Structure 1
Amino acid sequence: MENGTDYINATAESDEYGIDLAFILCWCVSGAVGVIGNLIMSLTILLNRDLRNVTNILIVNAAVGDIAFILIMLPLNIYTWVTWVWPFGDFLCKLTNMVTMYSMTTSAYSFCAISYDRYMVVTKPLEHRSIRTRRVSCYIITIDFIGLLSVIPTYFMAYEEDNQCNYLDHGTTMAQIHEVTVFICLYVIPLFVIGFNYIRIAKVLVLSIRRQLCERSNAAIAKQQSKRIRLTKSLLLIIIIYGLCMLPYYIANIGLQFLTDEIALQRFYNIIMIPSVLCYVLATLVNPVMMFVLSQKYRHHVLRCRPTFFRPNLMNTRANGSNRLTLTRRTTGTQF
């Protein structure tokens, strides 16, 4: 009987180890793709003037936090999950938790700023265009300032002890209040602000469409309005997918602090906590993937920078100098 019980326990431990290993592998792959995707997206936007609008700059601002999260937090935590030991000292313990908090804060409030900027573009396009440089600077300074403020408590709360990195004393009232507060400030409130702004945008667009139908406006105005609607829908889709990816991570952190039974805690950790981190890592992929899928202009710039052997047209023009010159002009001088 004891041998049978030992076999069952050993099998269960082996299954849990296999599941953990599968999730760690997914973290590594997703993290690598996330870093590459966010770097390509950021460089493409910053190096092409026609892509440097307010919305895209705010997306780059959120991507910076995502890249820092993947490069700093993810490798150290993978090592800890495998060895159950934190040998990196007190400073890195504080830094990883601070980077995580900064990434969550800047991403959440960047999307808030994007939703408000969309509202301003739809309602006051001329006024917004005249002050767009000053407005994007104000957005980024405010968002980064909020992000830096959010990491101050984290610096004092995170500590290393007995080769373990501790952020919150598990199950305490302070830990429970902290996780609920983070959920409200970084998820519920931004979601409310984003929803409020997009509801206002929808009202303005509906009234504008009705006015166009009544006045029978020209094709140029109708095309511009259609472009705004399409862009608004795309941005809303990005925000919804990002929010769905982040929700399990917030729920897991809250649930972890309200469980006190060790068996239930271990089961919760394996079933929910570890997959929730994968959801967080996948959330860092949302911006570059959705930008590539939804933005034809961004996709054109990315594909244009492919290596030479992926561009047969360029290979075919090597024999003709005039064609090569024409292609160079078309590649480098086109404005969209």
Structure 2
Amino acid sequence: MSDIPMSFPSPSPSPSTPPLETCDYSEWGATWVLIPAIYILAFTLGSLGNGLLPTICTHPVRSAPSRSLTDSLIASLAAADLAFVVTLPLWAAYTALGFHWPFGKFFCKASSYLVAVNMYASVFSLAGLSVERYWVIAGRLQAHRARGSRSRILWIVGGVWVVASILALPALLLRTVMEGNASYRLVSCEMDYSILISTDLPEDREWAELLWTAAMGIKSTLLGFLLPLTILLLCYCSLGHLLSQHFGRGPWADRRRQRRLLRVIITLVLAFFLCWLPFHVNKTLSILTELELLPYSCSFDRALLVAHPYTTCLGYVNSCLNPLLYACCDAGFRRRCRHLLMCHNLKKVVSGLEQSFYEYLSDLNNFWCCKTDSKDLDLK
């Protein structure tokens, strides 16, 4: 598996596995149509939702000072998702063409790098937002509000993007276009570890490439899924315990608010967990099979191969869900969204009235000019 979540045309069996001719590794026929359709749908919804989020977050409203970091992290998450979804048409075409990459080496590297940056930046922004939300509710930001929140925001958000950009560098440096065999004549966009391998023996090179592939896959799973998920679970479990202590013995209205907040928290955690868990499980099982840590089975190996594009798509859907989830969990965000839309509609109405008024004045002026001209002609 590569360092970034992307479909691949063929498996990479370990040296001890049976020959490929003994197992049918052909893709499910619907993949070539269904997967591109999902990518295009995710591109459309993700572009609209994540394109609107930064505008709403930067829309000036009266709010508490602690909201600025929340808004910045939401905007960071939206920017990461938006940078990812703009590459989806390329990957849709790549899949529809049977994993043939016609866009050249530059777009292969650039698109792969954006996907990898998104994978890290979005989940780090989500983890940072979870920690910040717990601090706000627990009242731990009160002592920090006088320390220059703007510089703190720049450090946190900037740190998220710097770390994400560094962790995504393997996709930029190692991704390239590679030609297939003569029978298929496909050009694929995949990781090339040859520059990292010094041995010339074919078997040693194959095993070294397998180890590099496994290392990159494990790195992305640990840093891009398990570590952020651990932070998410710790934050929301602590937050749920805090809310239970605060609201558990209150009146009925407070208990209703407790259930509503806990429901939103569980939704956020489950959305991230359910969207990305299948992909990382599929990738981990494939790595264990290739390293011969799991017994080889033709049917099991083919099931992993067929399921991989769909688990990838499920992870991509998370970029489309994030705007909706944060709109549901943040009442202030919804108010600003309504306020922004109302202002936009009001501006359109005022602009239309101004245009109609100016057209009326223009028609009136033309009428009087024409009338004056006719009188001048009569006098002559």
Question: Shorter-normalised TM-score: what interval?
Answer: 0.7 to 0.9
1:24 is aligned to 2:36:
yes
Q: Classify 1:277/1:168 alpha carbon distance in 2 versus 1 (closer, same or farther; 3 Å).
A: farther
Distance of 2:220 and 2:141 partners within structure 1: 35
1:294 is aligned to 2:324:
no
Match of 1:55 in 2: 70
Distance of 2:41 and 2:270 partners within structure 1: 23
Match of 1:149 in 2: 166
Q: Classify 1:202/1:239 alpha carbon distance in 2 versus 1 (closer, same or farther; 3 Å).
A: closer
Amino acid at match of 2:125: S
2:176 and 2:190 in contact (8 A); partners too:
yes
Unaligned runs of 5+ in 1: 1-11, 217-221, 319-336
Unaligned runs of 5+ in 2: 1-23, 180-186, 194-205, 291-296, 354-380
1:238 and 1:286 in contact (8 A); partners too:
no
1:183 is aligned to 2:221:
yes
Match of 1:196 in 2: 234
1:39 is aligned to 2:55:
no
Match of 2:82 in 1: 67
Distance of 2:74 and 2:344 partners within structure 1: 31
1:166 is aligned to 2:190:
yes
Distance of 1:56 and 1:294 partners within structure 2: 13
2:121 and 2:164 in contact (8 A); partners too:
yes
1:284 match: secondary structure: helix
Select which of 121, 146, 151 maps to 1:130.
Answer: 146
2:189 match: secondary structure: strand
Q: TM-score, normalised by structure 1?
A: 0.73
In the TM superposition, 1:98-137 aligns within 5 A as 98-121=113-136, 122-131=138-147, 132-137=149-154
Q: Classify 1:135/1:201 alpha carbon distance in 2 versus 1 (closer, same or farther; 3 Å).
A: farther
Match of 2:10 in 1: none
2:86 match: secondary structure: helix
Distance of 2:27 and 2:230 partners within structure 1: 41
1:251 is aligned to 2:281:
yes
1:130 match: secondary structure: coil
Distance of 2:28 and 2:256 partners within structure 1: 51
Which structure has the larger Rg over C-alpha atoms?
2
2:56 and 2:340 in contact (8 A); partners too:
no
Cα deviation per residue 1:291-316 (whole Å; 9 max; x = unaligned)?
Answer: 333333333333444489989xx79x
Distance of 1:30 and 1:105 partners within structure 2: 19
Distance of 2:176 and 2:26 partners within structure 1: 32
Aligned CA RMSD, in angstroms, stands at 3.7
Cα deviation per residue 1:202-245 (whole Å; 9 max; x = unaligned)?
Answer: 444445458x87xx9xxxxx97x997996576355323312211
1:285 is aligned to 2:320:
yes
Match of 1:76 in 2: 90
How many angstroms does 1:179 deviate by?
A: 0.6
Q: Classify 1:196/1:190 alpha carbon distance in 2 versus 1 (closer, same or farther; 3 Å).
A: same
In the TM superposition, 1:80-91 aligns within 5 A as 80-83=94-97, 84-91=99-106
In the TM superposition, 1:260-279 aligns within 5 A as 265=301, 267-270=303-306, 272-279=307-314
Q: TM-score, normalised by structure 2?
A: 0.65
In the TM superposition, 1:194-233 aligns within 5 A as 194-209=232-247
Q: Classify 1:227/1:240 alpha carbon distance in 2 versus 1 (closer, same or farther; 3 Å).
A: same
Match of 2:356 in 1: none
Distance of 1:45 and 1:235 partners within structure 2: 20
Distance of 2:79 and 2:150 partners within structure 1: 20
Aligned length: 292
